[in-house]
Structure 1
């Protein structure tokens, strides 16, 4: 009996059930359930219990109706906002990684410029909005500037942190092979820092969407931020909230795409870390 129990205990645990695309059903079912609960709670406080006035927060059915009626305006606006978000995010990534590398490479550079970066990050970015139009003009420049101001600091911080916290055993291995600075950086320090860098990128991605919408408040680009102001100005709060919902959906999809890129680019991370 004891031998049989030990044999049963030693049997391997079957892997989690996955679909033909390698995705667990719970990865789709649980977010869908959470969305249903959120919409139900939204309906309850607006239409069910009437706790919030419809002018402040329209019920979900009114927002859906506004989305359908104004889809010919909101969908092109969504395309503009997506493009501004991605372009600003890519610019922020390029600049943030380079600045983070410079901070990690020299203690003197870090001491000189780290306080300035913290000061710029501490200023509420909405305060820059009216000044951006005067400083850089109309068009996409104020949008990209706002995205950059919101995104670059998490990327700089995660890059500098990742490059300065290389595991000691890997650094010692590179020294034992007499690797040059460039070889050590390319083969050891940068790969070890990539998980930390992706943490900063995933923090920055939703901030990029926020920056794009705020920048469109002060731009002539008819993106979702512009449409929110226009519909709210004429009292059509349902359609304005429909634009806000589209911003939220856009942020979720972009964040999920970035997470997929991380999994494809860093397959060793999931293999060498414990899963929940």
Structure 2
């Protein structure tokens, strides 16, 4: 019997519909109180609250959090790529670089957040949280660095030998061979790092002393027991993180069209 192949978009829509159905049924049957409220609001309650809060509420908070995540994403990834390139040019530095990357990944963000806040200090009114920027950069460093190093090392050995035969050194190999081979791995790492940076910025806002942003908005909603707004903010955060993931993936397809063609052929 021949299996029926389903388009990935259709499969994704089916999964979303099933998830919303489970959420709705669970919220209506198991988490409602006698007054019609509960810790888990139904999807219509969340949509209604999203409409009531409006664009002004979400645009003001999103602008701050996206700015912090974007700055941290940029600096964290640039630093990771530079260190990965240094490792390829100077192989003896790989052990130290990997140890630094592993340490940055193993340190709990919740534990290091207050320390960073004490070192950097509270931001001035209207400024982005330095703590959120640092945590966003820290959240992407390990993923991008490891993915880049592995991508650089996946270069074809014959091409590397050819560059060396024509008098090229480690830098020439990195420029003409390793960078092209590493692009798929680099973009995959950048794709994973985008939601991580957004999450790191939100967590940093809990310690960053800011009054505007998705982090403070979640805190205020939690303190006021406003479950519908809290779920709405979480839903918007998930959509933004997923959109960033998809956008970087699209950029990777544009820059590396041959990878997509090879996967389709396979």
Give the TM-score taking structure 1 as reference length: 0.83
Contact 2:191/2:246 (8 A) holds in 1? no
Contact 1:162/1:197 (8 A) holds in 2? yes
Unaligned stretches of 5+ in structure 1?
1-24
| C-alpha spacing 1:103/1:181, structure 2 compared with 1 (3 Å) | closer
Q: How does 1:196-235 map to 2 (within 5 A)?
A: 196-219=185-208, 220-235=210-225
- Larger-Rg structure: 1
CA deviations on 1:81-130 (whole Å, 9 max, x unpaired) are 22222222111111110111122322321223322321221111111122
CA deviations on 1:171-190 (whole Å, 9 max, x unpaired) are 23323444344332211111
Unaligned stretches of 5+ in structure 2?
1-5, 124-128
The equivalent of 2:160 in structure 1 is 171
Contact 1:78/1:246 (8 A) holds in 2? no
The yes-or-no answer on 1:117 pairing with 2:117 is no
Shift of 1:37: 1.6
Contact 2:73/2:136 (8 A) holds in 1? yes
Which of 34, 39, 51 does residue 68 from structure 1 map onto?
Answer: 51
SS in 1 for 2:168: coil
Shift of 1:206: 1.4
Give the TM-score taking structure 2 as reference length: 0.86
Q: How many residues get paired?
A: 252
The yes-or-no answer on 1:249 pairing with 2:239 is yes
The equivalent of 1:38 in structure 2 is 19
Q: How does 1:126-205 map to 2 (within 5 A)?
A: 126-139=110-123, 140-205=129-194
